[in-house]
Amino acid sequence: MLKQRVITAILLLLALLPALFASVPWPFAAFTLVFVSAGGWEWGRLNGANAVTSVGLGLLVAAACAAAWLAGWATAAPPVLWWFAMGLWVLGGAWALQGGPAGWGRLSPQVRWALGLIVLWLAWLAMAGARARGINFILSVFSVAWVSDIAAYFGGRAWGRRKLAVAISPGKSWEGVWSGMVGVLLVGGLWVLADRAWAVDSPSLYSHLLTSLGGLEMVLVVVFLTAMGVVGDLAESLVKRHAKAKDSSGLLPGHGGVLDRVDALLPVFPIVLALSAL
């Protein structure tokens, strides 16, 4: 399993890094479009769609992303979309987590399909928009989810006592969540110092928040973003638990599926763009 995990990670990086560091934003937009389209296929499978319908849902995500790209939204989407996404995640996420897997199952499959496609489309738009702002900016947004996940894993193993959501994801603890928040804040502080020490193509998320809002406000926003990444992670776990599935698919050997890798990023990217507009 570890060997598979490492090989898959290397192959993903070999595909991602040239797209991410290209001199123009479109290679990254194209790469992530393929990724979220695969996520649409996984979402259908997890929510009662048959094989043909699941493929159709993946193609529908791709078509929606392509249409937004042609409209110029990949670099300058209407800000109202980010506020809509933020409301959807904050209110809808709270509703879904409160209802648990049983509550999710009470929604019709068509409603669940539509919600997933909207979330994936908004996440792709936000990732493309973040890349258009600069490489340093998008990497700092990625770090919110990545650092939180790593710090939560080690913090949870070391100090985890109180379970976060036993019915959804039994392995997660409140201590892990707090560890993730502290980890992201530490990285954020170091990132601000790095922005000041070296020439970068764009301010990081952390520098942008510090300059625009101030120190205390930056801390509060980073804590909120980390918490929303946890909501994204739990929401995907909830859907998998309802479907009685361990992974969203086997597309990424050793890692599960696309949704397993991007779940925390789905709310973080649109919310970052919403808050960056303040």
By percentage, how much of the chain surpasses pLDDT 70?
99
> Sign of the CA dihedral 115, 90, 25, 70?
positive
Nearest by Cα to 190 from 211, 176, 204, 175: 204
Question: Measured between alpha carbons, how far is 152 from 134 in angstroms, rounded to an integer?
Answer: 28
> What is the pTM for the complete model shown?
0.94
| Rg (the chain; Cα; Å) | 18
**Per-residue pLDDT at 277:** 77
CA distance 129 to 179: 29
Q: What is the pLDDT, as a whole number, of residue 6? A: 77
- What is residue 1's predicted lDDT score, i.e. its pLDDT? 58
Report d(CA 62, CA 110) in Å as an integer: 18
Which candidate, 85, 76, 213, places its Cα nearest to that of 131?
76
Decide if 42 contacts 248 (C-beta within 8 A): yes
Pick from 29, 268, 36, 203: which is nearest to 129 by CA? 29
Nearest CA to 270 out of 237, 229, 233 is that of: 229
Alpha-carbon span 191 to 194, nearest angstrom: 5
Report the largest interatomic distance among the alpha carbons of the chain, rounded to a whole angstrom.
53
pLDDT tens digits for the chain (278 residues)? Answer: 557 877 888 888 888 899 999 999 999 999 999 999 999 999 999 999 999 999 999 999 999 999 999 999 998 899 999 999 999 999 999 999 999 999 999 999 999 999 999 999 999 999 999 999 999 999 999 999 999 999 999 999 889 889 998 889 888 999 999 999 999 999 999 999 999 999 899 999 999 999 999 999 999 999 999 999 999 999 999 999 999 999 999 888 878 899 999 999 999 999 999 998 77
Helix (H, G, I), strand (E, B) or coil at 160: coil
